């Protein structure tokens, strides 16, 4: 079974707003998020069941996106959260 890890504030997914986009960043390893909880205003990291196949993973992320009411970004395994956030800020267009 594969897992994703997401920042949460209490029982709700913790999101950040990047250039007007509501974004939740998930990672493959909990340590990636645990060291950067303040970026998201989160107080914990929770494990999300992702399934085994690529289709199951996509479905799990779509379901989580609806729950979070925002876009979900999967952080590359080698990237730290500050780097991911800087890349999002430079790549996402502004929404007004």
Residue 47 sits in a domain whose CATH number is: 3.40.1350
Res. 59: pLDDT tops 80: yes
Please tell me the distance from the alpha carbon of residue 41 to that of residue 26, in angstroms, as a whole number: 14
**For residue range 21-56, what is the model confidence (pLDDT) as tens digits?**
999 999 999 998 999 999 999 999 999 999 899 999
Percent over 70 (pLDDT), the chain? 99
Q: What is the pLDDT of residue 96?
A: 67
Does 28 map to a domain? Answer: yes
Domain count for the chain? 1
Report, in angstroms and rounded to the nearest whole number, the Rg of the chain calculated over CA atoms. 13
| Mean of the per-residue pLDDT values of the chain | 93
With 0-12 / 13-18 / 19 or more C-beta atoms within 10 angstroms meaning exposed / middle / buried, residue 32 is buried
For residue 83, give its domain range: 2-91
Task: Report the predicted TM-score, pTM, of the whole model to 2 decimal places.
Answer: 0.89
Does 96 map to a domain? Answer: no
Q: Cβ contacts of residue 91 below 8 Å, gap of 6+?
A: none
Q: What is the pLDDT of residue 78?
A: 87
Q: Is there a contact between 37 and 43 (Cβ–Cβ < 8 Å)?
A: yes
């Amino acid at each position: 079974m594969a897992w994703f890890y997401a920042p949460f504030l209490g029982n709700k997914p913790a999101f950040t707003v990047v250039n007007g986009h509501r974004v939740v960043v998930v990672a493959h390893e909990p340590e990636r998020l645990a060291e950067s909880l303040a970026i998201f205003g989160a107080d914990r990291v929770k494990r999300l069941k992702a399934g085994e196949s690529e289709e199951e993973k996509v479905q799990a992320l779509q379901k989580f996106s609806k729950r979070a009411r925002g876009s979900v970004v999967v952080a590359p395994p080698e990237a730290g959260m500050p780097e991911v956030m800087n890349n999002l800020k430079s790549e996402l267009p502004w929404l007004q």
